[in-house]
A and B are shown apart, each in its own frame.
Chain A
Amino acid sequence: MEFSSILFYVFSFFFIVSSIMMITSRNTAKAALFLILTFFSAASLWLLLEAEFLAITLILIYVGAVMVLFMFVIKMLDTDKSTLRAQFTRYLPLGIFVSIIVIAQMVLVLNAGQFDLAMTGVPEKHDASYSNITAIAEQLYTLYVYPFELAAILLLIAIIAAITLVHRNESRSKKQNISEQINVQAKDRMRMASIKPKSAKESK
Chain B
Amino acid sequence: MMNFNFNVAELIFALPELFLLFAISLILLFDLFVSQRLKQFTYYLTQLALLITGFLAFNLIGENATIFSGTFVLDSLGSTFKVFILGFAIIALVYTRHYLKAHDLLRNEYFILAMMSILGMMVMVSGHSLLTLYLGLEIMSLSLYALIATARDRASAIEAALKYFVLGAIASGLLLYGMSMIYGISGSLDIAQISSFASASTLGSQQTLILNFGLVFLVIGIAFKLGAVPFHMWVPDVYQGSPTSVTMFLSTVPKIAAIALLIRLLIDGLGDLQHYWADLFMILAVLSIAIGSLVALTQTNIKRMLAYSTISHIGFVLLGFVTGVVDGYGAAVFYVLAYILMSLAAFGSIIVLNRKGFEADQISDFQGLSKHSPWFALIMLVVMLSMAGVPPFIGFYSKLFILQQVVAQGYVILAIAAVIFAVISAYYYLQIIKTMYFDDVDKEILVSAPLDMKVVLSINGILILVVGLMPSFWMELSVSLF
Contacts and interface: CB of A to CB of B under 8 A. Distances in A.
Interface of A: 105, 108-109, 112-115, 120, 138-139, 142-147, 150-151, 153-154, 156-158, 160-161, 163-165
B72 to A, nearest CB: 6
A131 B29 CA distance: 39
Nearest to B28: A160
B67 to A, nearest CB: 8
8 contacts: A105-B213, A115-B184, A142-B2, A143-B4, A150-B135, A153-B116, A160-B116, A165-B146
Nearest to B138: A154
Interface residues of B, number: 40
B69 A143 contact: yes
Interface stretch (B47-55, B105-113, B471-479): B105-113
Nearest to A145: B68
A95 to B, nearest CB: 16
A151 B139 CA distance: 9
B2 A160 contact: no
Nearest to B142: A157
A165 B21 CA distance: 22
Contact of A157 (B131, B136, B139): B139
Nearest to B185: A114
Nearest to B152: A165
- 9 nearest A-B residue pairs (beta carbon): A161-B146, A146-B68, A112-B206, A150-B135, A164-B109, A142-B4, A143-B69, A147-B131, A146-B71
Interface of B: 1-2, 4, 6, 21, 28, 68-69, 71-72, 107, 109, 112-113, 116, 119, 123, 129, 131-132, 135-136, 138-139, 142-143, 145-146, 149-150, 152, 181, 184-185, 187, 206-207, 209-210, 213
Contacts of A160: 28, 109, 112-113, 116, 146
Contacts of A105: 213
Contacts of A108: 209
A184 B204 CA distance: 87
A18 B184 CA distance: 28
Contacts of A138: 1-2
Given A146-B68, A146-B72, A164-B107, A114 B206 contact: yes
Given A150-B123, A158-B142, 7 more contacts: A112-B207, A113-B206, A142-B2, A146-B71, A147-B129, A161-B142, A164-B109
A144 B131 contact: yes
Contacts of A156: 116
Given A112-B210, A157-B143, A150 B136 contact: yes
B400 to A, nearest CB: 39
Contacts of A114: 184-185, 206-207, 210
A22 B142 CA distance: 30
B136 A161 contact: no
Nearest to B107: A164
B209 A112 contact: yes
Nearest to A161: B146
A153 B139 contact: yes
A147 B145 contact: no
Contacts of B28: 160
A112 B187 CA distance: 16
Contact of A109 (B21, B119, B150, B213): B213
A144 B69 contact: yes
A116 B187 CA distance: 13
A138 B3 CA distance: 11
Contacts of B145: 161
A150 B132 contact: yes
A154 B2 contact: no
Contacts of A139: 2
Contact of B135 (A113, A147, A163): A147
Contacts of B210: 109, 112, 114
Given A143-B4, A143-B69, A150-B139, A157 B209 contact: no
Contacts of A144: 69, 71, 131
Contacts of A163: 109
Nearest to A115: B184
A140 B119 CA distance: 22
Contact of B113 (A120, A150, A153, A164): A164
Contacts of B2: 138-139, 142-143
B149 A146 contact: no
Contacts of A142: 1-2, 4, 6, 69
Contacts of B68: 145-146
Contacts of B119: 153
Contacts of B139: 150, 153-154, 157
A171 to B, nearest CB: 13
B251 to A, nearest CB: 21
B238 to A, nearest CB: 17
Contacts of A150: 123, 132, 135-136, 139
A145 B69 CA distance: 9
B378 to A, nearest CB: 38
Contacts of B143: 157, 161
